[in-house]
Amino acid sequence: MANLSFLKAHFKRYTSTVFDLKFQTIQDQINGFSNNTGNTWLSNRLPGKTMSELVEILMSDSILSLCRIAFFILYLPLKIKSVGTTKTSTVKFSKETYLYWYELMLLLRRFEEKAGQLYGMQKIRGFCHLYIGQEALAAGCMTATRPEDPFITAYRDHGLAIAKGISAKACMAELYGKATGCSKGKGGSMHFFGLKEAFFGGHGIVGAQIGTGAGLAFAEKYKGTDNVSLTFFGDGAARQGMLHETFNMAMLWKLPVIFICENNNYAMGTSVARTSNVVDIYKLADAYDMPGDSVDGMSPEAVHEAVARAVKRARAGDGPTLLEMKTYRYKGHSMSDPQKYRTKEEVEEYKSKDPIEVTKATLLNEFGVSEEEIDKIIERVRLEVEESVQFAEESPWPDDNELLKDVYVQEDYPFIVD
């Protein structure tokens, strides 16, 4: 048996090193040791930890082994107040939230993939900007806001429109230019709109929606609500003068607006580094004493947390926030983009961070969701997208007399002529 001083020396050594190992690492280092007579007693001493889970840190030298066992029995339980009977997890949100995120993001992805296919078949005409890769932004924003909070964005608008509650059928019909579309077939891909869903576009002029978003916030404040306007724009739009004029007024009047820059790195095809001396777009807020932050836009968790903080601030009357969401589009700027400005390796690197796959893994590994449950979601999404295509195919074209309608609020506006 080792003398006490020898035992203490090794005990001190390993309390400063082995404890730093994460439980996950320890659990992965399994190597037998099941025949040890102290197995049951040690398992009781460390709830939820079988002897096999401690094996890798036990070396063949019996004296060192005793030291390590002593560490786990006596020292580790004091450092970890409650190990419990389940695996340590860093998941901050509920299973229901992850299920919602997964199904929503999958719906946006499959809808956009189908839209791309139909565009190639010339079923959809005009410009078309797909949201593929950026779905985590829509998911995180939805769980951090209320249905009555108005959203407004630029022309990459399909994902946010569906997230806000406009049906896939109405969106697909709009892409087809049909009368049943969310803009009566008169807006097309870039001009989705849903009044009852509090979705205000869909805007084709770069950066124009930034001012309109602040106007929506002003309207909410004027009406005395505590609703918050979420105003989305791309990294390219951050170069527009409208942004600076709006930031100044929004801070001056403490408007309840969150400015969200969906920074997918390339605007139409030119990197941020080639267009601005300030590559961290969130720092533009500093000039106006506006809170700003950089957020992992590939993570619905990070998006939710950042938006929730900004929403809380806005509802309290403390004014706007600028959030730069670092995201990535897997497809080109539009359907005609040859994407010569980036490498295939870069795209694949970002695909390894696909928020849909990461969320799926969380459901499977952290919440024990079965593959059968995942398959049901996949099938439900597939049917919804297919039904939207059938709906669009079977819907009528707008009547000719619709051409001059919905231009002015006043129905008999005298200056519209045939």
What are the Cα distances from residue 335, in Å, to 111, 126, 306? 15, 10, 31
The answer as to whether 365 is a domain residue is yes
Tell me what pLDDT residue 413 has: 85
33 has pLDDT over 90: no
Predicted local confidence at residue 342, as pLDDT: 76
165 and 63 within one domain: no
Residues 75 and 99 in one domain: no
| Domain limit, last residue, from 79, 106, 135 | 79
The pLDDT tens digits of the residues spanning 98-115 come to 999 999 999 999 999 999
Q: Give the CATH number of the domain where residue 156 resides.
A: 3.40.50.970
174 and 140 share one domain:
yes
pTM, to two decimals: 0.77
- At 275 the pLDDT is 80
Domain presence at residue 180:
yes
pLDDT band at 418 (very low <50, low <70, confident <90, very high): low
Going by C-alpha positions, the residue among 139, 88, 98 that lies closest to residue 362 is 98
The pLDDT assigned to 69 comes to: 45
Judge whether 384 lies within some domain. Answer: yes
According to DSSP, residue 85 is labeled S
**Count of beta carbons in the 10 Å neighbourhood of residue 48:** 13
- For residue 404, is it within any domain? no
How do the residues of the chain divide into helix, strand and coil, expressed in percent and rounded to 5? 50, 5, 45
Contact indicator for 32, 96 with CB cutoff of 8 Å: no
106 lies in the same domain as 65 = no
pLDDT band, very low/low/confident/very high, at 282 (cuts 50, 70, 90): very high
Instruction: Judge whether residue 62 has pLDDT over 50.
Output: no
How far, in Å, CA of 390 to CA of 404, rounded?
28
> 170-179 pLDDT, tens per residue?
999 999 999 9
Domain end marker among 35, 51, 79: 79
- pLDDT value at 26 more than 80: no
Question: Among 21-35, 47-61, 79-93, 350-364, where is mean pLDDT lowest?
Answer: 21-35
Phi, psi of 257 (to 5 degrees): -135, 140
| Radius of gyration in angstroms for the set of CA atoms belonging to the chain, rounded to a whole number | 27
Q: Give the DSSP letter of residue 72.
A: I
Mean pLDDT of 21-32: 36
Residue 91's pLDDT band, with cuts at 50, 70 and 90, is confident
List the one residue out of 330, 347, 113, 134 whose CA is nearest residue 233: 134
Residue 31 pLDDT more than 50? Answer: no
Strand partners, 292: 322
Question: Which secondary structure element, helix H or strand E, spans residue 12, and what is its range?
Answer: helix 4-15
pLDDT digits over 154-201, tens only?
989 999 999 999 999 999 999 999 999 999 999 999 999 999 999 998
46-49 — which CB contacts under 8 Å span 24+ positions? Answer: 46/72, 46/73, 46/76, 46/77, 46/83, 47/83, 47/84, 47/85, 48/83, 48/84, 48/85, 48/86, 49/83
Question: Is 163 a domain residue?
Answer: yes
For residue 59, name the pLDDT band (cuts at 50, 70, 90): very low
Say how many residues make up the chain.
Answer: 418
87 found inside a domain: no
157: CB partners within 8 A, 6+ apart = 129, 189, 190, 191, 192, 201, 202
| Helical residues (DSSP H) of 202-343, grouped into ranges | 208-223, 241-252, 300-315
Task: Name the average pLDDT for the chain.
Answer: 82
pLDDT of residue 117: 93
Domain co-membership, 204 together with 105: yes
Give yes or no: residues 229 and 291 share one domain. Answer: yes
Q: What is the pLDDT of residues 318-338, one digit of tens each?
A: 999 999 999 988 777 777 767
Residues 218 and 314 in one domain: yes
Return d(Cα 318, Cα 183) in angstroms, integer: 34
pLDDT > 90 fraction of the chain, expressed in percent and rounded: 60
What pLDDT, on the 0 to 100 scale, is given for residue 7? 38
Q: Which of 25, 73, 18 is nearest to 45 (CA)?
A: 73
Nearest to 154 by CA among 333, 350, 293: 333
- Tell me: the pLDDT tens digits for 301-312? 999 999 999 999
Q: Are residues 56 and 171 in the same domain?
A: no
- Percent with pLDDT over 70 in the chain: 78
Please indicate, yes or no, if residue 402 is contained in any of the structural domains: no
- Expressed as residue numbers, the domain containing 55 is 4-79
CB 148 within 8 A of CB 200: no
Judgement on whether residues 192 and 331 belong to the same structural domain of the protein: yes
* pLDDT for position 224: 97
Token pair in block for residue 151: 């959203």
For residues 223 and 370, state if they share a domain. yes
Nearest to 39 by CA among 51, 29, 48, 30: 51
Who contacts 326 (Cβ-Cβ below 8 Å, separation ≥6)?
263, 294, 295, 296, 297, 298
- Read off φ and ψ for residue 35, nearest 5 degrees: -90, 0
Q: Give the total number of structural domains in the chain.
A: 2
- Whether 70 and 101 share a structural domain: no
Please say whether the dihedral angle defined by the alpha carbons of residues 90, 95, 99 and 100, taken in this order, is positive or negative.
Answer: negative
Pair (105, 228) in one structural domain: yes
User: Residue 413 falls within a domain, yes or no?
Assistant: no
- Can you give the pLDDT at residue 89? 59
Final residue before a domain boundary, out of 46, 79, 112: 79
Closest CA to 115 of 160, 182, 171: 171
Predicted local distance difference test score (pLDDT) of residue 165: 97
